[in-house]
Structure 1
Amino acid sequence: MMELTLEQMVVSPGQQLLIKDLSWSQFETILNELGESRAARLSYSNGLLEIMVPLPEHERNKEIIGDIVKILLEALNIDFEPLGSTTFKNPQMNQAVEPDTCFYITNQKAIIGKNRLDLTIDPPPDLAIEIDLTSRTQFDNYQLLGIPEVWRYSNGTLSIYLLENGNYIQSSSSPNFSGIAIIELINQTLQQSQIVGTSQAIKGFKRWVKENIH
């Protein structure tokens, strides 16, 4: 049987590579070989590894949504810890996932000063965000790891999913931003970024926040 090395595998932006029947120790080896300074995003669930390289559009939308979350949390005077695309893994559950970006909000104090997280003892992030332009699906990972809120931006619109009784239920609002029309605001800001550019769209959002959040 012929064996391939990671160096021989090429994944183009917007494409996915699936590797099946991979043990946890093999996944850990790949994770170490790829290192932290990489463009690819990984998810692992019960022996199936997915490697995805995002498109520029994917990265731009991720940054804009992340900025919106930070601006709102600061305006609401809510402490938070942004952890970007941190690898969250739980070997006991045979699950690992790297969100496009994520935030600790309710559990912010629990991870202050921690440079390595262990989901067998540490809480998962309160909010994970996925930009789903390449049909990347990871709800099973998030569900099993117990991440309470997941946002997915796909086909020009934001969807919010809340974990209830072990399953994700779609919601029209976010408990982290009570009383704020977060779906409408994010959709509008991302649409504006395609017309006036990212910096101008964010400036417009900041003006809205200044006028509407006290």
Structure 2
Amino acid sequence: MTKTGSDRPQKDTLQTGCITLHEISWEKFSVIDSTLADISAIRSIYLDGVLEIMTPLSEEYEHLKSTIGLLLEAYLREKNIRFYVRGSATLGSQALGGRKEPDESYNLETRKTIPDLVIEVIITSGSIDILEIYRRLRVPEVWIWRGGNLEVYSLGESQYQPGENSRLLPDLDLKLFTECVRRNDQYDAVNAFIQAIRQQN
């Protein structure tokens, strides 16, 4: 983007709940991020000089995020797959040029410094390519819930490849998983999912 000559960062408001700032140095981002740290409803994403501030986190977002996590954890327990919840611990660094808090993240089998699986729930879309942040971190798989559908991206040699199945969990029925995420009642959704898994065994 062409610089204006002003020291002020350029700002675009894409949608309600998403503010994008351009030409932000890592140092300036760190100051802004520290200022916002005590506001729990705000999330920030940084990549190559672009900063997005997402607010507020809606009830719909929280419902979807927790439902996906509960369903995934139910599946892992039913299949006796050891897992470690990493939650939304911040990922990224100045050296990588990007930083983000995942909505949910997991290690499978053993604890690692980088999650094996990241889950993102997108209600308000911004301009930053979040997959690029995770690509630089070499996160093996990213699930994105967007528009009522689950998108699965598996990391190849250099880029993420979209797929209809999970490489990490190849036996997981993603159609069933998606149907359960869409259910209004979270408790019933998890119970129905567990029953379906047991019937498949």
Task: Give the TM-score normalised by the residue count of structure 2.
Answer: 0.84
What aligned pairs does 1:107-146 form with structure 2 within 5 A after superposition? 108-110=110-112, 122=113, 124-136=114-126, 137-146=129-138
- The answer to which of 60-69 and 16-25 deviates more is 16-25
Structure 2 residue 35 is the aligned partner of structure 1 residue 43: no
The runs of at least 4 consecutive aligned structure 1 residues that moved more than 6 Å come to 1-4
Give the superposition deviation at 1:28: 1.9
Asked if 2 retains the 8 angstrom alpha-carbon contact of 1:95 and 1:145, the reply is: no
Question: 1:50-109: per-residue Cα shift (whole Å, max 9, x none)?
Answer: 111232212111110011111111112222111222211222111101111111115x33
CA 1:69 to 1:37, structure 2 compared with 1: closer, same or farther past 3 Å?
A: farther
Which of the two has greater helix per residue?
1
Structure 2 residue 89 is the aligned partner of structure 1 residue 97: no
Identity %: 26
Taking the aligned partners of 1:173 and 1:206, their CA distance within structure 2 comes to: 19
User: How big is the alpha-carbon RMSD for the aligned residues of Structure 1 and Structure 2?
Assistant: 2.3
What aligned pairs does 1:195-206 form with structure 2 within 5 A after superposition? 197-206=185-194
Taking the aligned partners of 1:83 and 1:40, their CA distance within structure 2 comes to: 19
Tell me the amino acid that sits aligned with residue 154 of structure 2: L
Instruction: Look up the SS of the partner of 2:183 in the other structure.
Output: helix
Asked if 1 retains the 8 angstrom alpha-carbon contact of 2:105 and 2:115, the reply is: yes
Tell me the amino acid that sits aligned with residue 212 of structure 1: Q
Give the aligned partner of residue 27 of structure 1.
29
2:198 is aligned, of 186, 210, 213, to 210
Taking the aligned partners of 1:101 and 1:83, their CA distance within structure 2 comes to: 7
Taking the aligned partners of 2:159 and 2:45, their CA distance within structure 1 comes to: 19
Give the superposition deviation at 1:37: 5.9
Give the aligned partner of residue 3 of structure 2.
none
How many residue pairs get aligned? The number is 189
- The answer to which of 13-22 and 168-177 deviates more is 13-22
Tell me the amino acid that sits aligned with residue 182 of structure 2: Q
Asked if 2 retains the 8 angstrom alpha-carbon contact of 1:147 and 1:163, the reply is: yes
Asked if 2 retains the 8 angstrom alpha-carbon contact of 1:162 and 1:169, the reply is: yes
Which of the two has greater strand per residue?
2
Unaligned regions of 5+ residues in structure 1, if any? 5-10, 111-121
CA 1:135 to 1:180, structure 2 compared with 1: closer, same or farther past 3 Å?
A: same
Tell me the amino acid that sits aligned with residue 192 of structure 1: R
CA 1:161 to 1:3, structure 2 compared with 1: closer, same or farther past 3 Å?
A: closer
Tell me the amino acid that sits aligned with residue 102 of structure 2: P
Tell me the amino acid that sits aligned with residue 64 of structure 2: N
Taking the aligned partners of 2:90 and 2:78, their CA distance within structure 1 comes to: 28
